[in-house]
Structure 1
Amino acid sequence: MTFALIAIGLVISTALVTIGVMRHRIHRLAEAAHDVVREPSRRVPIASAAGELRVLGEWINALAEDADRSRNALHHERTLLASVADLLTHGVIAIDGEHRIELLNDAARRMLGVQSSLVGEPLLEFVRVPELHALVEHPEDASAEVQLPNGPRTLVRAARTWGRAGRVLLLEDVTNVRRLETVRRDFIANVSHELRTPVAVIRANAETLIAGAKDDPQMAPRLMDGLHRNAERLARLIADLLDLSRLDAGQYRLDVSNVAVKSVTEQSLSAIETNAQKRNVTVNVSIPETLVVRADPKALDQILVNLIDNGVKYTPADGHVWVAARELGDAVRIEVRDDGPGIADKHRERVFERFYRADSSRWREAGGTGLGLSIVKHLVESMGGQVGVEPNSPRGSIFWLRLPKASTSTAAA
């Protein structure tokens, strides 16, 4: 009996010791598992483990490595997605079901005028635009054009995210597109108006002549003169429109070479000499013989004819126009000055726009197409130059252009 009790005591003691050791090992395993959760790069130590605890530790390490690989792959994908999004010219914003920002690329930050990432922040707190709020709340995919605060006119497209609540917004800056549409509409309206006026005069004069005025010795010459003048005006307008069309399409062929400025200027003067004599406008030329630029001779001639002719037309009778040129570093500045009424400050920056009129009454009297200065600007810039206008003292205007000077070697050649 005594031996039986002793045996039972030994068994119980051994069991308690075994349970204690196992509990200690399981506790250490649990702590190691917690460490793995807190620090994914760590692993459960299994060198001293044996049996089922070793197998359990190996499984935990295998799961940790699997989770680590998945986390790295997810991080790589998110980084790749962010990099691709930042390369887009369109703005991209991803929001969750509570309208908090999950992704915001560089283009979107520029459009919203923010520097930080704003990830985790409510979108509608930073962009208080009613149209955007309605777009985000819309149950289906939708789009709307909105004006962002202190930002561009923007076309926003909203699409649902699959599998969970949220939206992806694509932002496209349409400021330039809308401006170009306005320019196109204005251009068509202006062309229609400019064509309508001479066509109406030609039609009216022709109908009057057919009705019997051709036999009237006093009326017939006046009507025929009107036909001729307006036909010439139509021809000039169409020629200018064709030039602009070729320039816009890059089809205006330029043959850039060394060009003597004085020689081309004298050639240009022959085209406006008759008009200058009619108005008794004196054109003075002060250009050194040795001044040579890199330009297309025909284009430079067209530029100078436009500028000098404008000076003659808008200068009062008995006025003066001066054409001068001088070296300016590695460029040559050519000036056409006049002592006419000049151009007001508010009009000066826009005179090179198509059909822009600083003074419509003076333009009607002068009879221009309204496209000459626009063609001048296109041609000068196509040859790598600059063009502008500034006030002349004490009165009048100075139209100037700057073209590359021919180098000594190319000039000699």
Structure 2
Amino acid sequence: MISYSHFMLNNGLKVYVHEDHSTPIAAVNILYNVGSRDEDENKTGFAHLFEHLMFGGSKNIASYDTHLQLVGGENNAFTSPDITNYYITLPSANLETAFWLESDRMLSLSFDPKVLEVQQKVVIEEFKQRYLNQPYGDVWLKLRPLAYTTHPYKWATIGKEISHIENATMDDVKAFFYKHYLPNNAVLVVAGDVTVEQVKQLCKKWFEPIPAGNAPVRNLPQEPKQTAARFLETQAPVPLDALYKVYHTPARYAEGFHAVDLASDILGRSKSSRLYNKLVKEHSIFNSINAYVTSSLDPGLVVIQGNLNQGISIEEGDAAINDLLQDFTQNAINETELNKVRNQAESTLVFSEVELLNRAMNLAMAANAGNVEWVNQEAEKIQAVTLDELSQQAKAIFDPNHCSTMYYRAVQ
């Protein structure tokens, strides 16, 4: 259980405090309720671009990293389709430095044209290196628009295409910032060797003077139910043929999610999973294979992906997966298997929360999703999944008509 206190500032900033005085360290996590799903389809990649711009200087502070390093702090950030998250760890004695830095860039960025130009180049280079010039790097650039026809999950967080970042103007950047980077569109979690009263005073000093804005109302187009199988074939100079199969799943905090998550674990979480045992160890069809869920705040995907062994066709691998899924959905699932993955999932959760920063992030994620108490209900929900529920979800999810399949052929 993660203990916490909660209060809200006059400008709408939601603040959570988790006290842990075991070490003189503090974690400051600020989550903005904006991800790539909130972008204009013709101006994608902005949420990720902002992750970079936020480190390029704010209204009164030219160099964010320099000041943080001087007080022994570390920081980073990440963007997802659902959120953008910034975090700092530092000695608790220097906590106020984190408040000073984060509040200044929430107030306003420097909006220096040179910074924009530099970060555009950085993101474009990242796009090329990670997505275009890396083996299998473009998988999600192709797979997302196959799986999603309507919902903005149909483009990757990096963006649909490089031109959207290349053509970003300062007016575009300012409009995105003042629409989404608002105190009333954020969650602040302060964890570690701190007190609630200390955090309250620092919040009043540094964050409360920042004016609230008109928080965006999210009204995204919902993805219609998939009723027919979809297929895409592509090729590239990669080491091995690869196969990707995705199926639509409940949203991260929706009923049925944990059953689907555990079903994916039985299928492909580890080297004791069904896919690995049958298709890698026993029949040597795949060189590697796994299954996982995307855990999206809106309905997401369960993904099965594998690299074929030399001399095995993708069609043969696809047929083998389909046979295994048919057996999985039509025959009784073993109680021993379910207990194993339940305990694995719970132990992963428990061990992850040994780290202070992970506790802070998990609080922020649950609070942003709508109910901070969800963070303390995870283990219970995992253990509550029954064989009947898992079987029902598996039959509903792994319907061949709900599948999007991509063959990724290796060419020389």
TM-score tier after normalising by the smaller chain length: under 0.3
**Greater fraction of residues in helix:** 1
If the length of structure 1 is used for normalisation, what is the TM-score?
0.19
Question: Which structure is richer in relative contact order (CA contacts within 8 A, separation 6 or more)?
Answer: 2
